[in-house]
Chains A and B, each alone.
Chain A
Amino acid sequence: MFETLSDRLTSVFSSLRGKGRLSEEDINATSREIRLALLEADVALPVVREFISRIKERARGEEVSKALNPAQQVIKIVNEELVEILGGETRQIRFAKNPPTVIMLAGLQGAGKTTLAGKLARWLSADRNTPLLVAADLQRPNAVTQLQVVGERASTPVFAPEPGNGQGDPVEVARASIEHARHNNHNVVIIDTAGRLGVDSEMMQQAADIRDAVSPDEILFVVDAMIGQDAVNTAQAFLDGVGYDAVALTKLDGDARGGAALSIRHITGRPIMFASTGEKLEDFDLFHPDRMASRILDMGDVLTLIEQAQRTFDESEVEKMASTMSSDDDFTLDDFLQQMQMVRKLGPIGNLLGMMPGMGQMKEQIEGIDDKDVDRIQAVIQSMTDDPGRARQPQDDQRLAPPADRQRFRYRGQRRERPGHPLLRGAEDDAQDEEGRRHERYARYAGDARRRRRWWRRQEEAEEEGQEGQAAQRQPPEGPPAGGRTRGRAQAAPGGGRSADARPSPGPRRRWPAHAAPGSGRAEHARPVELQASQEQVVDAGRPGSPGRPFVCAQV
C-alpha cells in the first residue's frame, strides 16, 4: 500500500528511468495513480475526473524539463493545478459599511459551528473588533449553553434570549440580535445556527429565513475536513438552500487529507476562508491554499514547519545556530546536542519529520522514533570526557590544570582549540570576544536556570543564617556543586566550610548571573590575588553581548 502520491508515481516511473519525455502510456499509468491518491484523500469523484483530464492535457503538452524527472514533473503539474483550484489568494472578511457586519454560520451537525463561532469571535477581537455571538441554534440540547461557555472563554458577549432545546424561533433571535448589537456597539455579529442536513428542506428553509431576516455580509459554510464523497452533495445543497460566500474548514488538526476542501472549492467556486486546527480557541487562522495542496498530495508541509520554528525560536538563537555552523570551528558533539535540543523544542520529532517532503516512505521508522532518545544522547554526550585522559569530573579537572586557567581550559574543551599548555594564556586574549558569545550560547543550554535558582536559594539561606550569626559554621552542601564551581573562590579551606568573607555580599552582587557567581562549595586552591579581577570580569561576562572572560561549564 503506498501512502503518498509521490511514492505511487515513483513506483510507476521506476521502470522508465532515463526517459526524457512522458509517453502516452506513462501518462495513463500516472493518471490512474493520481486518481487513486485523490480519491483516497476524499476528493469528490466528479472533481477527480475533471482534474485528471486537465492533468493529462498538461502532461502531454509540457516541455521536457531537464531538472525534473518525469515523476517530479507530474507532481509539479498536479501541485500547481491543485493550488490553482484551491484559489490563489487568501480571502479576507468583507466588513459592512454600516456596522454591524453580520456573519452567519451554517453547516451539518457536528461540523464545529459553535466552536468556530467562539474562535472567530476571538480572532476578530484581536483586531479590535467587538463581536457579538448569537445563539440561534435552538435545536440541539444545550447548544445555547455551549455557546455561552465558548463566549465566556473568548470573552465575547453572547446574545441568547431563548433557552434553546427546541424552544423559540431562531429567526426572531437573529433579527433581534442585530438591534441588540446596534444598541450595544458591537461591530460584528456572529450568528451560530443549528446543524442541518442538506436534504432537510424544512431546516434549510429556516436557514434561508434567518438569512433573509438579517441579510448577512458573509455566510460561512462550516465543514469538517474529514468529510468524504458526500462533501459535494452537502456543499451543493447548502449553496442552493442558503447560499454562502466562503467556507470554513474545521478539524484540520487530524490526519484527514481534506480533499473536501478541493471538492467544495471546485464545485461551488466558493473560496475557503478559515481553517480551524485544534480544540483551543486560538487554533484558528486564515486558510492557505498552497499548503492544502501539499497536504492533499501528502507531500509534507515545510511551510508549517518553518512557521512553527519561527514561533519557537527567536532570531538571535537562530543566528547563533547559523554562526556556529558557518564558523571555522569544528562542529562538536556539544553543538550537536544543542541542536537536538532546539529541534526537540519544536515538538515531537516524529511530527516534525512527517512535515518533511518525501518522508512518507519512512513512515514506519518515523513512528518508531522515541523522543527520549534525545535524553539518552544528552546523557551519553555529557558523560563523555572532553579530551582523552581528561574526565569531566571536577577532581580530574582540578588536578590537571592550575585553578587560574581551569575555566579557560574547560571552556576550550568545547572547542578543541586549546593551547598546548596552560601557560600560553596570552594567546587567547584576541579570541575573547568570540568566546564571550560562545560561552553565552553554551550557557543557554547548560541548565543555567536550575543552577541559578540553586545559587539564589543558597544565598538566601546564607543571608538568613548570617543574620543569626551562624554563617561561619555552615557546612557546604554535599557532593560536588551543580555548576559554577569555576571561579571566584577565595580563602576557602579545602573541603571545609565556607568562610563568611568569601561569600559574596548579598547586595549588588545579586545581579550576577548564576553561572558567573562564586561557586557554592569547596575550592581547594586559594586564589586571593585573582579574586578581585576575576569578579569584575565575571560581571562583564554576565551581561549579554558584552565581552567577558569565558566561564567554565561544569557538569550539567
Chain B
Amino acid sequence: MDITLLAAVAIVVVLLAVGGFFLVRTRRSVAPGKDEAGTEITGKPTAAPPEEDRERDEGTVVTPPSQAPPAAEETVAEPEPAPAPEIETPPPSAGRMVRLRARLARSQSSLGQGLLSLLSSDSLDEDTWEEIEDTLITADIGVTSATQIVENLRTRVKVLGTRGTDEVRGLLREELLAHIGADTDRTVRTEPHGERPAVIMVVGVNGTGKTTTTGKLARVLVGDGRSVVLGAADTFRAAATEQLQTWGGRVGAPVVSKEEGSDPASVAFDTVARGTDEGADTVIIDTAGRLHTKTGLMDELGKVKRVVEKKSQVDEVLLVLDATTGQNGLRQARVFAEVVNITGIALTKLDGTAKGGIIVQVQRELGVPVKLVGLGEGPDDLAPFDPEVFVDALLEG
C-alpha cells in the first residue's frame, strides 16, 4: 500500500516537474503579455521580487503560485488519473483571503462596534478617549501600545481639528496600520533555490497549532503546484507524528518521521536531505511545542536549526502564535526570536472571539511581521496576513 502510494507520489512529482518545466519554457518564449500577473510569475518561478507579491497579496496566498492559472489547471488535472484516491487536490490559494474576510470580520465585530459608537459620539472628551484605549486593550493590544495609539490619535485630531466620525476612524485606521506595519514584506519564502528546496521551520509554544499550521501550509503549497516534504520533528508529544502524517497523506506530501523520543534535529536533517534528494520545492519542519521558559528545550530548538543549517539555509522560521494569547505572547516572541531568529509569525485561531492584538506589540518591538493567519479548523483555513483587511475588519464591525 505504502509502496504504491509512494510510487504514485513519485510519478506525480516527476510529471509535475517535467510538465511544469516545459510549460514554463514555452510560456516564457511564446506568451509575453497575455495576462500580466500570470506571465510575471511564470517568468520568475524561483525568485519573484517581493514588490510584486505585495501588490498581489489581496488575491493570492503565501507566495505567488509558480504556475499561471492555465498551468495550474494542467498540474491539477494531471494527478487525477494517478492511482491514489486518498490524495486530495486542494484548491489553489487564489482568492482565499476574500473568502475568509467575512469570517474575520464577523469575529471582530464586537470591537468594531464598540469603537464605532465611541467615535461617533459628539464630543470626544477624556472619558471617551479612555474608553477607546480600553477597547484597544481588550483586543490584547497591550497597555503601552494602546496608550500610544490613543495619544497619537488625540494629537492628530487636535491638530487637524477633525470632528467627523469617518475622519476620526480614518485616522485610527492609519494609526493602527502604522503600528502593524503596512509596508512590511509578508511573503513566506517558499521558492526553491535552484537544486535546494526552501526550508521552513514551524516553532511555537504548546497548543498554538503548529502541526495544523504545517499541514495547512503544505496544502496551500501543494494547491499551488509545489512539491512539499514534511518533517515531523515533534518527537515529544504523543501522536504528533501521526497527526502530521494525516495532514501529509491528505495532500500526498511525504512525511519524514522517526519513532517517538528520537532526536528532533536528526529528523529535521533527514527531512531536508530527503527534500533535496527528491528535488522538492519546499521542506516544512514541524517542531515540538515548547514553553519559552524551558531553557533546555529552547536549546534543543536552536540545535535543530543549526543542524538543518549544515544541510541547507533555513528560509523561514515561523512562530505560531495563538490569537487568544495575551501579553505573554510578546515574551514568547522575544525568546524565540533570540534562539532561532524568527522571520515571521503565523497567527492562529483568529476565527474565535480573540482579536490577536498581541501582534501589534510583537511587530512593534521585534519587527517580525505576521505572515499567515489561521482562521478555523477547515483544512483550507489558512490565509496570508493582510494588514489592511485585518485593520478594516477590526474597525468595520
> Which A residues form the contact surface with B (CB < 8 A)?
36, 39-42, 44-45, 108-112, 114, 139-143, 145-150, 153, 165, 197-199, 224, 226-231, 233-234, 237, 250-251, 253-257, 259-260, 279
Contact = CB atoms under 8 A, between A and B. Distances in A.
Nearest to A112: B207
Contacts of A39: 137, 143, 327
B328 interface: yes
A251 B207 contact: yes
Interface in B200-248: 205-209, 212, 215, 236-240, 242-243, 245-247
Given A39-B143, A146-B239, A146-B243, A228 B354 contact: yes
A42 B293 contact: no
Given A251-B206, A254-B292, 5 more contacts: A148-B239, A149-B238, A226-B332, A228-B325, A229-B326
B246 A142 contact: yes
A143 B211 CA distance: 12
Contacts of A150: 238
A231 B326 CA distance: 9
A256 B328 CA distance: 5
Given A110-B209, A199-B352, A230-B352, A255 B328 contact: yes
B139 A229 contact: yes
A143 B242 CA distance: 9
A111 B246 contact: no
Contacts of A229: 137-140, 326, 354, 357
Interface in B92-151: 107, 134, 137-140, 142-143
A27 B142 CA distance: 23
Nearest to B294: A253
A228 B326 contact: yes
A226 B205 contact: yes
Among B239, B328, B329, the most chain A Cβ lie within 10 Å of the Cβ of B328
A142 B351 CA distance: 22
B178 interface: no
B353 interface: yes
A535 B193 CA distance: 77
B352 A197 contact: yes
A231 B327 CA distance: 12
Looking at B206, B207, B323, which has the most chain A CB atoms within 10 Å of its CB? B207
B377 A139 contact: yes
Contacts of B239: 142-143, 145-146, 148-149
Contacts of B377: 109, 139-140
A234 B328 contact: no
Contacts of B107: 199
B324 interface: yes
22 contacts: A42-B326, A109-B349, A110-B322, A114-B238, A142-B239, A153-B238, A197-B351, A224-B322, A226-B324, A226-B325, A226-B329, A227-B325, A228-B325, A230-B352, A230-B354, A231-B324, A250-B207, A251-B291, A255-B293, A257-B328, A260-B326, A279-B236
Nearest to B134: A45
B205 A254 contact: yes
Contacts of B294: 253
Contact of B238 (A41, A146, A251): A146
Contact of B243 (A44, A142, A227, A250): A142
A500 B51 CA distance: 87
Contacts of A255: 292-293, 328, 331
Interface in B295-345: 322-329, 331-332
Interface residues of B, number: 49
B265 to A, nearest CB: 19
Given A149-B238, A251-B207, A253-B293, A40 B327 contact: yes
> Taking each of B205, B236, B243, B324, which has the highest tally of chain A beta carbons within 10 Å of its own beta carbon?
B324
A197 B247 CA distance: 21
Contacts of B327: 39-42, 228, 257
A45 B137 CA distance: 8
Contacts of A165: 246
Contact of A237 (B143, B209, B245, B353): B353
B274 interface: no
A44 B208 CA distance: 21
B24 interface: no
Interface of B: 107, 134, 137-140, 142-143, 205-209, 212, 215, 236-240, 242-243, 245-247, 260, 291-294, 322-329, 331-332, 349, 351-355, 357-358, 377
Contacts of A45: 134, 137-138
Contacts of B137: 39, 45, 229
Contacts of B212: 140
Contact of B358 (A36, A228, A251): A228
A150 B351 CA distance: 29
A110 B209 CA distance: 7
Contacts of A231: 324, 326
A148 to B, nearest CB: 8
Contacts of B134: 45
A8 to B, nearest CB: 12
B352 A110 contact: no
Contacts of B208: 110
Contacts of A139: 377
A354 to B, nearest CB: 10
B306 to A, nearest CB: 22
B353 A230 contact: yes
Given A224-B324, A228-B325, A110 B353 contact: no
Given A228-B354, A234-B353, A254 B246 contact: no
Contacts of B247: 141
Of A143, A228, A257, the most chain B CB neighbours within 10 A belong to: A228
Q: 3 shortest A-B CB distances, which residue pairs? A: A228-B326, A110-B207, A149-B238
Contacts of A230: 140, 323-324, 326, 352-355
Contacts of B353: 197-199, 230, 233-234, 237
B243 A110 contact: no
Contact of B328 (A42, A140, A237, A253): A42
A254 B331 CA distance: 10
A253 B352 CA distance: 25
Nearest to A258: B328
Contacts of B293: 253-255
Contacts of B292: 254-255
Given A36-B143, A228-B354, A254-B291, A141 B243 contact: yes
A255 B334 CA distance: 13
A227 B326 contact: yes
Contacts of B243: 140-143, 145-146
Nearest to B297: A279
A258 to B, nearest CB: 9
Which of A114, A231, A255 has most B Cβ within 10 Å? Answer: A255
Contacts of A260: 326
A233 B358 CA distance: 17
A151 to B, nearest CB: 9
B242 to A, nearest CB: 4
B151 to A, nearest CB: 15
A390 to B, nearest CB: 42
B86 to A, nearest CB: 12
B140 A224 contact: no
B283 to A, nearest CB: 21
Contacts of A40: 142-143, 327
Most A C-beta atoms less than 10 A away, residue of B240, B292, B325: B325
Contacts of B328: 42, 226, 228, 254-257
Given A153-B238, A228-B327, A229-B326, A197 B349 contact: yes
A114 B205 CA distance: 16
Nearest to B207: A110
Contact of A112 (B206, B240, B331, B354): B206
Contacts of A42: 140, 326-328
